[in-house]
Structure 1
Amino acid sequence: MSFPAYPSYRDSGVEWLGDVPSHWVPARLRFLVQLNPSKSEVSGLDSDAEVSFVPMEAVGEQGELSLDRTRPISEVLTGYTYFREGDVSIAKITPCFENGKGAIMRNLAGGVGFGTTELIVVRPRQDRTTPEFLDWLFRSPAFRSRGEAAMYGAGGQKRVPDDFVRDFISPGPPLAEQVAIAAFLDRETAKIDALIEEQRRLIALLKEKRQAVISHAVTKGLDPHAPMKDSEIEWLGSVPAHWEVKRLSTVAYFESGKAHEPFIDDAADEHIYVSARFVSTQGESLRFCSANLTPALRDDILMVMSDLPNGRALARAYMVTDDRSYAVNQRVCLIRCQDAYPRFMLYQLDRNEGLLSYDDGMNQTHLPNRAFLKLMVCVPPLNEQEEIAADLDRRLTAFNDLAAEARRGIELLTERRAALVSAAVTGKIDVRGSAKVLPFPIDRTRARGLIATEIIERSANQSTFGRVKFQKIAFLAEAHVGISELAGSYTREAAGPLDRVLIEEMESAARSIAGIEHEQPGGAGTTVSYRLGNQSGVHRQELAQWLGEDRTAKLDKLIGDFAALSTKEAEAVATLYGVWNDALSEGASPSDDEIISGFLNDWHPEKRAKFRASDLPEWLGWMRRHGIVPTGSGPKTTTGRLFV
């Protein structure tokens, strides 16, 4: 898709920026933002007030922010970086800056957060710039490349100086256009990201299929009608009856590598330094050394002996295919076939299940020499080994070609994404018209908070409203109203459809947006009620802009319809909806009796104790009268952890 340019441009006077739209006013960020605001702003908070705590690992590379940690403010007031709701953060240390770590700080506990000192905090001046536009500006190639060039320090301690951010020039679009640009980029990059994710899933699928093809060929052979016998090895299973199963030491020579680190010398270009990284990257990570204490020869198989828990390098194999000098380092071994065809053995040994069984998933794994020497391997007749290897070479070429094509697709999409961000934030394309026709962009956490705030503020004064009723309205907001942005994963729990994580995040986000608190004076397992904050109604304009007229009206009606229902009645309606919708999504057209049977017999054992079959037709009729009838779209429910 192509986008138009602005009608007229002028010289910005900034070399890297070039021409900008005539009505834009470029300016240094120091005039548009406040950098690293003072902690004195929160000096009045109680010392035990809980605030969000954000270490570097909680900040994502695409604007994600994990807010599952809080701490009393007294514990973080010194030694940590302060920020509040709506600030924009940038990681300043390498490689976090280069990787794009940074986020808009939203849904903070009490609107306040503290985190790693390796963040630069940028607070937009509301009359000059918006957090969303700033976040995209900070993700633009121009900002990132110039930030890297401005770094100071050495090695892994290089940092972007604060003054680089202060003096960086914003291209200067008016506020309304900043909103349009951010909305456009949210939407268009989401499309590109979805395409990239599809290619990544394809690569993962090809990898799984490739491994399955290899495993079958080297343990079952090519003849599907060959008689089989039990190998008496659990992970190996049955093998062709005419094959032998032997210890690796009987068909190959084994030698573990020696330490070559003292001899690493990339300028020497004399011996290839065979490290675990060299093997795991299939020779792409190429370094050299000046001595060779463990030489490998053509057709030798080189294998990784040590890796982190669940590491992807452990037991990876690489075969030498030329006569250059290969120096095998420690934590790598060489296997030289004597009574086996090397390429067949390569396929059998690479990520071999017998070797991977040593990885307990908790500790660093080092495969001892005996793991290789005692490893049981399949040994078909030599001519069959050659046939299997040739067949795999041919079949795997197709897998490799498809994976390479997918990787090229990811590279092109990534380049397209970067170019789009750059063009939009610098005014090279005019997205004002495009942004208007796109749905209002919103992240999942914000969506959950806005819906929670609306439901709770509209319902909190009802004597029957508590967490259970809130849960059922939230489920129907996604399933019936069509607010898919909630992205719940609903299980069949005793009180109806439930996503505990969703509800917890909705409550947390409602507290950040409108100061809503939930109270449970009787302790865990007792009734939960909600106390409204002093910011009631502040969400309404954003909610309406995001949902649009149709969904706003539908949500308004849903909340109004549920106002007269008791908790048990709300549970009945939401559960009936879930049973009915699940059946429709599977292609069925259930009768009322079938829906009721699913409710009582397939949902949760407690349903039979709480409801009678004769009670439920009334609520199916109520649903039809109020237009709360499923279509088979939206989320499906799954068996919950309480179902026995």
Structure 2
Amino acid sequence: MKDSGVEWIGDIPEDWEIIKTKRKFKTNKTIVGDKYTNFDRLSLTLNGVLKRPFDDNKGLQPQNLKTYQILNESDLIFKLIDLENVKTSRVGYSNYQGLVSPVYIRLINPTETRFGYYYYMNMWYQEIFNALGAGVRSSLSATDLLNIPYIFISSVKEKHNIVEFLDKKINQINTIISDTQQSIIELKKYKQSLITETVTKGLDKTVEMKDSGIEVLGKINKDFRIISLGYLGNFQNGISKSGDSFGKGYPFVSYSDVYKNRVLPKKTTNLVQSTIEEQKNYSVRKNDIFFTRTSEIIEEIGMSSACYETIEQATFSGFVIRFRPNVNIFLVKFLRYFLEGSFVREYFSKEMNIVTRASLGQGLLKKLPIVLPSLEEQQQIVEFLDNKTSKIDSLIADKEKMITEYELYKKSLIYEYVTGKKQV
């Protein structure tokens, strides 16, 4: 082994060489023009280069695809803009011919692209592109890419063996990850189904059911009653502050805090400058429930998070609505589970009128039908669901940990073989 002279590569075999990318690859940008309807639309994703529907309107969209460039099968494609973002895809190998954004960089060399793909994926995993593009530019040009160090292996057979080995191993790992992800999806579906069934029908499966009169609810336990959320408490939209008010001051419950957590964290890392009066009007108290109010997609609207402990001196985001109970006929822990039911999303989807941005107003939230058992049965349901969902959550956490471990194994495998630390 010898020192490669490149920090992120380390030692390489004696007969391997460090060259510049431009010695093995060339770039080319062919704009499609009026023939764009003859091609598939492609997108570089975290799961590779995938076909994308022409009518997919997520993200920024061109007026038409005439300005897009042609990507051929076995080409490499790079997205080297916005490099301060470390969570987006950067490198892809195309199994298709199609169209991609003109801001992407295309590398061509059919005999080299499979090894090159693994080499550049290793750079992405190590966030090398992000480091190289740090600073004012936050991007890399085609010229920058062509001047990046690249590993040249003179033995075609050796290079082929590395690619063949990695193709097989990475495919096996990806299959395990995909199967595990699907298992997590099924567990989450089961959890929501269990919650939905329990909060509307109760624990005694022999009890007679009745028609709720509400399409999204269907049949419910005959002893349960339905009350609109507006009769159970009052509502308050959150505080609006300028950008320079954030980062210092007092605790602040953000949109993200509510969207990501069904139970609000006891502490929030967000801070905002707020007055005593604002802390009074926009307080965050035990038994409050918060709802996400606005988003570009309806799936993110009306997500709820229950507050189990008061956060002193805290205020909450203007993109959030606070519900504060003013009656004692329900348990907040029961309501927290009820709001996780699948019918809540269906209700908002059915009732909302969306033009360009989804928005939940207090009026619609007040009309949300809530199914209420007796307080005694609410407590029994809470205890049952606490027990059942904690077991499901534990299974999900174990599977998520396994995915993380396999992802790390995949990264180390690619690094070790494309840099020659291990031999096939």
TM range (shorter): 0.7 to 0.9
Maintained 8 Å contact 1:52/1:67: no
Residues 263 and 369 (structure 1), Cα distance of their counterparts in 2 relative to 1, 3 Å cut? farther
Superposed displacement of residue 11, structure 1: 3.2
Within the candidate set 297, 302, 318, 2:290 is matched to 302
Cα distance 1:49–1:336, how it changes in 2: closer, same or farther (>3 A)? closer
Q: Aligned AA for 2:127? A: S
Q: Is 1:357 matched up with 2:350?
A: yes
> Once the two structures are superposed, what CA deviation does each residue of 1:172-199 show, in whole Å capped at 9, x if it has no partner?
2222222222222222111111111111
Determine what percentage of the aligned residue pairs are the same residue: 20
* Cα displacement (A) at 1:48: 7.5
Distance 1:37 1:222, change over 3 A: closer
Query: Which of 179, 202, 218 is residue 199 of structure 2 equivalent to?
Result: 218
Tell me how many residue pairs correspond in the alignment: 398
Counterpart check, 1:421 vs 2:401: no
Q: 1:445-471 deviations in whole A, cap 9, x for unaligned? A: xxxxxxxxxxxxxxxxxxxxxxxxxxx
Structure 2 CA distance for aligned equivalents of residues 369 and 239 of structure 1: 26
What secondary structure, in the 3-state scheme, does the structure 1 residue paired with 2:321 have? strand
Aligned pair partner of 1:190 in 171, 191, 196: 171
Label 1:171 to 1:357 Cα distance change in 2 as closer, same or farther (>3 A).
same
In structure 2, the CA distance between the partners of 1:301 and 1:176, relative to structure 1 (3 Å rule), is: same
Change (3 A) 1:328 1:350: farther
The Cα of 1:348 is off from its aligned counterpart by: 1.1
Look at both structures and tell me which one has the larger radius of gyration over its CA atoms: 1
Name 2:129's counterpart in structure 1: 147
Secondary structure in 1 aligned to 2:51? Answer: coil
TM-score (norm 2): 0.82
Matched, 1:204 2:160: no
| Contact kept? 2:252, 2:272, Cα under 8 Å | yes
Q: 2:4 pairs with 4, 8, 12, which one? A: 12
Of 16, 20, 23, 2:15 maps to 23
Partner of 2:307: 320
Q: CA deviation at 1:51?
A: 9.2
CA contact (8 A) 2:125 2:411 kept: no
Instruction: From the superposition, tell whether residues 199 and 205 of structure 1 become closer, same or farther in structure 2 (CA, over 3 Å).
Output: same
The aligned counterpart of 2:60 is none
- Matched with 2:152 is 172
- The unaligned stretches of length 5 or more in structure 1 are 1-8, 70-74, 432-644
1:100-115 matches, within 5 Å, as 100-104=89-93, 108=97, 115=100
| Distance 1:361-1:17 versus aligned 2 partners, 3 A rule | same
Deviations 1:373-421 (A, max 9, x none): 2222112211221221121111110011111111111111111111111
SS for the counterpart of 1:58 is strand
- Partner residue, 1:250: 231
How far apart, CA to CA, are the structure 1 residues paired with 2:23 and 2:306? Answer: 60
1:236 partner letter: L
Indicate conservation of the 8 Å contact 2:49/2:94, yes or no.
no
Residue number among 272, 282, 287 corresponding to 2:270 in the alignment: 287
Q: Which runs of 5+ in 2 are unaligned?
A: 55-63
Cα distance between partner residues in 2 of 1:233 and 1:419: 54
Distance verdict in 2 for CA 1:143–1:397, change over 3 Å: closer
* 1:53, distance to aligned residue in structure 2 (A): 5.9
How much does 1:319 deviate?
Answer: 1.1
Give, in angstroms, the shift of residue 167 of structure 1: 2.9
TM-score of the aligned structures, taking structure 1 as reference length: 0.56
Match of 1:234 in 2: 215
1:22 to 1:350, Cα distance in 2 relative to 1, 3 A = same
Higher relative contact order (CA 8 A, sep 6+): 2
Q: Which residue of 1 aligns with 2:57?
A: none
- Whether contact under 8 Å (1:142, 1:422) holds in the other structure is no
Residue 132 (structure 1) aligns with: 114
Superposition CA RMSD, Å: 3.3
- Structure having the higher strand fraction is 2
Cα distance between partner residues in 2 of 1:163 and 1:143: 22
Following superposition, the deviation at residue 242 of structure 1 comes to: 2.6
Residue by residue over 1:337-382, the C-alpha shift from the partner in whole angstroms, topping out at 9 and shown as x without a partner, is 2221111111112362433432468753322212222222112211
Deviation readout 1:189-215 (Å, 9 max, x if unpaired): 111111111111111111111111111
- Partner SS state of residue 402, structure 1: helix
Matches within 5 A, 1:631-642: none
**Partner residue in 2 for 1:470:** none
Partner Cα distance (1:420, 1:139) in 2: 12
- Once residues 49 and 281 of structure 1 are traced to their aligned partners in structure 2, the CA distance between those partners, rounded to angstroms, is 43
Shift, 1:140, TM fit:
1.0
CA distance in 1, matches of 2:35, 2:239: 56
**Shift in CA distance, 184/264, structure 1 to aligned 2, threshold 3 Å:** farther
In 2, Cα distance between the equivalents of 1:49 and 1:246? 58
Contact 2:294 2:358 (C-alpha < 8 Å) held by counterparts: yes
Contact 2:49-2:95 within 8 A present in 1 as well: no
Structure 2 residue 388 is matched with structure 1 residue 401: no
Match status 1:329 vs 2:317: yes
